């Protein structure tokens, strides 16, 4: 298993582009099952989760073509018969559950391995199943598989409520939305997830011929259609990757420019960072010909208000040595994302005072706490809340976390720590960050991947 070795203390400086979003790409790829023409996705990140989804779709009768030169991934159903999403693939990636809705809608049945335990806590799929049952699916469990069938081969539109104890469900909304696109009649999803990845999925489905309104709000209306067709679509930028690099810049007192930055989707992060004393500001976009465009002209073209309500802009992060403590509560979008909780905790370890972080989506998502403590952080956890007592410095140490974002938090801590940090089990990071070490090296970090011999 590969590891990272980081010698901390370098200020990050430079410019990098944010990649396409992993969490948008996964359900969008699964939507390829909904039509018999090629679906061409642009800006799909090169990540192990994406490769696993490609493997899963290939096992479900899709031809997958990756064109690195063109930056596209094409999904084309060539055999519409298979309906089994096998345990061997789904256990490597919980997002395999995304094929359930599309299979049911397009093939009338599905047999999808039930996702198992997860390092970030309980992750049931009861809301997915409840939503699909409300659309008329008959669902049972057999030998660890969810076995679902649409009576007479087609689902029926209806009112679906997707609220659970911790809010809505992102992938559950994606499943019901994809299934309802081909159902008979109108479906209204109440308490739908408002995450931008759902908006991206609805935009793709509408381009394929679906009739969806309200995505991005808690009420989505879908008028079922008989058939969907192939299209080309560019995946939205990854708001979590973007936020992670913002926090890396903040952590190292750096000065970084990020292009393809989804500012509108990171308002909660900006709000907390303003209080911490870290500022994210619109800046000139990269100019392909080498000439600089007028900053004010571009800023005006892209944004209104404080300039951070645009979908894709270039931003400059300017940090300062003094960081104020803050209170962070993770919430469904547009609240502070749980997927940035570990990273902001790493930052707040160096704040001048005590911060409080409360996790409201996955109350046990704290694998990074004990590891940060090994680096000198002072953290006191009580249930879903962690008191972060700021310390003067973090000290490098060998650390490990079996969760993607927890590992990202540890990398950030390593970048700012005195001395050497070894991050073990980097494959967790490879699930969600495309060659993170290369991006950080480009920004001047002293980080090396040590490949398993």
Residue closer to ligand EPU (CB basis): 155 or 170: 170
CA distance 396 to 421: 4
Give the contacts of 216 (CB within 8 A, at least 6 positions apart).
194, 196, 198, 199, 202
User: Total binding residues for ligand EPU by CB under 6 A?
Assistant: 25
Kindly give, in sequence order, each residue whose CB lies less than 8 Å from that of residue 414, ignoring residues fewer than 6 positions away. Answer: 4, 6, 8, 375, 396, 399, 421, 423, 447
> Nearer to ligand EPU by C-beta: 109 or 360?
360
Pair 111, 78: CB distance under 8 Å: no
Cβ closest to ligand EPU, residue 334 vs residue 376: 334
Give the number of other Cβ atoms within 10 Å of residue 380's Cβ. Answer: 12
389-448 residues near ligand EPU, rule: CB under 6 A:
404-405, 432
- Give the per-residue contact string, 96-125, with ligand EPU (x = CB under 6 A; - = no): --------------------------xxxx
Q: Judged by CB under 6 A, which of 8, 102, 157, 172 binds ligand EPU?
A: 172
By CB neighbour count within 10 A (0-12 exposed, 13-18 middle, 19+ buried), where does 354 fall? middle
Applying CB under 6 A, among 46, 59, 92, 166 the residue interacting with ligand EPU is 166
When asked if residue 336 is in the footprint of ligand EPU (CB under 6 A), the reply is: no
At 11, phi and psi to the nearest 5? -75, 130
Alpha-helical runs (H) found in 135-195: 170-181
Please identify, using beta-carbon distances, which residue of 314 and 330 lies nearer to ligand EPU: 330
Would you say 122 or 287 has its CB closer to ligand EPU? 122
Residue from 61, 164, 307, 335 touching ligand EPU (CB under 6 A): that is: 164
- Interacting span for ligand EPU (CB under 6 A) from 69-77, 167-175, 257-265, 383-391: 167-175
Query: Which of 18, 171, 397, 412: binder of ligand EPU (CB under 6 A)?
Result: 171
Of residues 103 and 146, the one with the C-beta less far from ligand EPU:
146
The reply on whether position 362 binds ligand EPU by CB under 6 A is: yes
Cα gap 337→339, rounded to integer Å: 5
Binding of ligand EPU at residue 364 (CB under 6 A)? no
Q: Judged by CB under 6 A, which of 361, 379, 416, 426 binds ligand EPU?
A: 361
Q: Which one of the spans 170-178, 231-239, 374-382, 416-424 is the region binding ligand EPU (CB under 6 A)?
A: 170-178
Is 21 a residue that touches ligand EPU (CB under 6 A)? Answer: no
CA distance 174 to 178: 6
Residue 303 CA, distance from chain mean position: 24
Nearest partner of 106 among 205, 24, 10, judged by Cα: 205
CA distance 336 to 397: 29
Instruction: List, by residue number, the catalytic residues.
Output: 118
In the complex, the smallest distance separating the C-beta of residue 339 from ligand EPU, rounded to whole angstroms, is: 5
Q: Which of 25, 29, 33, 95 binds ligand EPU (CB under 6 A)?
A: 95
> At how many degrees (to 10) do helices 170-181 and 196-207 cross?
10
Give the Cα separation of 430 and 178 in Å (integer).
27
Taking a C-beta distance cutoff of 8 angstroms, is the pair 349, 388 a contact? Answer: yes
Are residues 180 and 187 in contact, defined by beta-carbon separation less than 8 angstroms? yes
Q: Residues in the site for ligand EPU, rule: CB under 6 A?
A: 23, 26, 95, 122-128, 164-166, 169-172, 193, 338-339, 361-362, 404-405, 432
């Amino acid at each position: 298993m590969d590891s990272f070795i980081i010698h901390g203390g370098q200020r990050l400086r430079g410019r990098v582009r944010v990649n396409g979003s992993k969490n948008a790409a996964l359900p969008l790829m699964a939507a390829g099952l909904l039509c018999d023409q090629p679906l061409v996705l642009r800006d799909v990140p090169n990540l192990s989760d994406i490769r696993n989804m490609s493997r899963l779709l290939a096992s479900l009768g899709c031809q997958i073509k990756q064109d690195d030169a063109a930056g596209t991934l094409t999904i084309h159903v060539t055999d519409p018969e298979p309906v089994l999403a096998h345990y061997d693939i789904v256990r490597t990636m919980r997002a395999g559950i995304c094929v359930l809705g599309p299979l049911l809608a397009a093939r009338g049945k599905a047999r999808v391995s039930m996702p198992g335990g997860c390092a970030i806590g309980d992750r049931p799929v009861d809301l997915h199943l409840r939503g699909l049952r409300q659309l008329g699916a008959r669902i049972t469990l057999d030998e660890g598989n969810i076995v679902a069938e649409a009576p007479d081969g087609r689902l029926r539109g209806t009112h679906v409520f997707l609220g659970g104890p911790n809010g809505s469900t992102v992938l559950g909304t994606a499943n019901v939305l994809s299934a309802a696109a081909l159902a008979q009649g109108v479906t209204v999803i109440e308490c739908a997830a408002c995450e931008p990845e759902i908006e991206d999925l609805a935009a793709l489905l509408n381009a394929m011929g679906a009739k969806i309104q309200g995505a991005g709000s808690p009420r989505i209306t879908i008028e079922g259609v008989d058939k969907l067709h192939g299209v080309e679509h560019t995946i939205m930028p990854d708001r979590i990757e973007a936020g992670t690099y913002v926090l890396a810049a903040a952590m190292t007192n750096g000065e970084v420019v990020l292009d393809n930055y989804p500012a509108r989707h990171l308002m909660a992060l900006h709000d907390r960072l303003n209080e911490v004393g870290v500022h994210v500001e619109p800046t000139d976009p990269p100019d392909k010909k080498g000439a600089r465009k007028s900053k004010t002209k571009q800023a005006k073209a892209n944004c209104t208000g404080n300039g951070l309500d645009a979908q894709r802009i270039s931003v400059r992060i300017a940090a300062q040595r003094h960081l104020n403590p803050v209170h962070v509560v993770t919430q469904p979008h547009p609240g502070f994302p749980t997927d940035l909780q570990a990273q902001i905790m790493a930052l707040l370890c160096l704040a001048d005072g005590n911060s409080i972080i409360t996790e409201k989506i996955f109350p046990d998502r704290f694998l990074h706490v004990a590891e940060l403590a090994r680096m000198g952080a002072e953290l006191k956890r009580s249930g879903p809340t962690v008191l972060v007592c700021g310390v003067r410095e973090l000290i490098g140490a060998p650390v490990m976390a079996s969760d993607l974002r927890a590992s990202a938090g540890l990398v950030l801590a390593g970048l700012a720590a005195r001395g050497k940090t070894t991050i073990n089990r980097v494959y967790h990071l490879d699930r969600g960050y495309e060659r993170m070490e290369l991006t950080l090296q480009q920004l001047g970090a002293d980080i090396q991947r040590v490949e398993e011999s």
